[in-house]
Amino acid sequence: MGEAIAFYFIAACILGFAVLVISTKDTVHSVLFLVLDFLFVAALYVLLGAAFLAAIQILVYAGGIVVLYLFVVMLVNLKRPPEAHSDPHRQTRLGFGMAAAVIVELGAVALYSTGKPVVPLASAATAAIPVSGNTEQVGWLLYTSYLIPFEIASMLLLVAMIGAIVLAKREL
Amino acid sequence: MITSTHYMFLSAALFMIGVIGVMVRRNIIIIFMSIELILNAVNINLVAFSAQLQNGIGQVFAIFVIAVAAAEAAVGLGIILAFYRNKETVNIDEMNLMRW
């Protein structure tokens, strides 16, 4: 019961703040609503028992990425409102139609799958993990089975860092 | 009783809000924030399945998604700054330099 109340409260906050992010006129307010949205997603991770991921979410998203967005919003001086100029070739109606099609598709998949019993996949991969606890489990997987993807991710971050510096620098 | 179906519905709703934000808004910074919302919806799905299957692999992939999102935000915002320096706009309808 308590879990259900917590889930519905957090879900309502996530969706409400997400709607505010995309509907607010002021871009700075939009970024601040994005912070709240990320914090509630972190709360949802705690509810799911993924404590390490919740900490990562707060550190990387709510701490790092949002500050980056805020810097760009402050650096980009919006003298005229960006929504003022509108492209006559913009296919708004087609876009909404396709979004409605995707919603119908997702709803059909969800309705099809709700009646089915949940199949517990007690896989062999978890049986081999000799540690308990969320952070230990994630760390064990990252440094054994997923070591090469982990290194590739670190290389990707290095390349992105260099690329961002090259793009944002006035002249090299 | 909260099952993983509830989490999937939440994830789908958040995904759709992000897609609508990408298609409706013209401010490119808000479009980037909508993309972050979409990536968060994917992460919720991964973690929900990870909890349902009692398997930590979903959380590992969520960490990879967060790393890619950080890289995407850094490069994308660098592109926005470089573009703003040239054309003094963040309106996506005016970003048609490479459109034929």
Position A87 scores a pLDDT of 64
Which of A43, A78, A113 terminates a domain? The answer is A78
Given an 8 Å threshold on Cβ–Cβ distance, is A18 in contact with B2? no
Is A169 part of any domain? yes
Intervals of chain B under pLDDT 50: none
Residues A71 and A4 in one domain: yes
Answer yes or no: is A142 within a domain: yes
Q: By CB neighbour count within 10 A (0-12 exposed, 13-18 middle, 19+ buried), where does A119 fall?
A: exposed
Find chain B residues with C-beta within 8 A of A153's C-beta: 64, 67-68
Q: Is residue A168 part of a domain?
A: yes
Pair A3, A73 in one domain: yes
A48 domain-assigned: yes
Please state, in angstroms and rounded to a whole number, the distance separating the CA atoms of residues B59 and A159: 24
Instruction: List helix spans (H) across chain A.
Output: 2-23, 27-47, 51-56, 66-75, 92-114, 124-127, 134-143, 147-168
Contact state of B78 with A14 under an 8 Å Cβ cutoff: no
pLDDT at B39: 95
Residue A162, chain B, CB below 8 Å: the answer is no
With beta carbons under 8 A apart, name residues in chain A contacting B89. Answer: 82
Would you call B33 and A99 a contact, using CB atoms and an 8 Å cutoff? no
Q: How many CB atoms lie within 10 A of CB B57?
A: 19
Residue A9 has a CB neighbour count (10 Å cut-off) of: 12
Range of the domain at A139: 130-172
In a domain, A95, yes or no: no
Any domain includes A155: yes
Domain-located, residue A87: no
Q: Which of A21, A71, A134 to mutate to test the interface with B (most CBs of B within 10 A)?
A: A21
Q: Give the nearest chain A residue to B82 (CA atoms).
A: A168
Same domain, A71 and A137: no
d(CA B3, CA A118) in angstroms, rounded, equals 9
Last residue of one domain, picked from the residues A78, A113, A145: A78
Q: Which residues of A touch B80 (CB under 8 A)?
A: 72, 76
Tell me, yes or no, whether A71 and A143 share the same domain.
no
Residues A1 and A73 in one domain: yes
> Which of residues A16, A46, A78 is at a domain's end?
A78
pLDDT given for residue A124 in this prediction: 46
Q: Which helix (H) or strand (E) holds B78?
A: helix B57-87
pLDDT of residue B2: 81
> B91: distance to nearest CA of chain A, Å?
5
Does B24 sit within 8 Å of A83, measured CB to CB? no
Give me the helix-helix angle, B4-24 and B28-52, nearest 10°.
170
Nearest to B47 by CA among A165, A89, A56, A130: A56
The beta-carbon neighbor of A157 closest among B24, B67, B82 is B67
Q: Domain tally for chain A?
A: 2
Residues of chain A with pLDDT under 70: 77-90, 116-131, 172
> What ipTM describes this predicted complex?
0.91
User: Does residue A103 belong to any structural domain of this protein?
Assistant: no
Domain containing A4 — which CATH number? 1.20.120.1200
Do residues A9 and A71 both lie within one domain? yes
Give the number of other Cβ atoms within 10 Å of residue A92's Cβ.
11
Answer yes or no: do B73 and A45 touch at CB < 8 A.
Answer: no
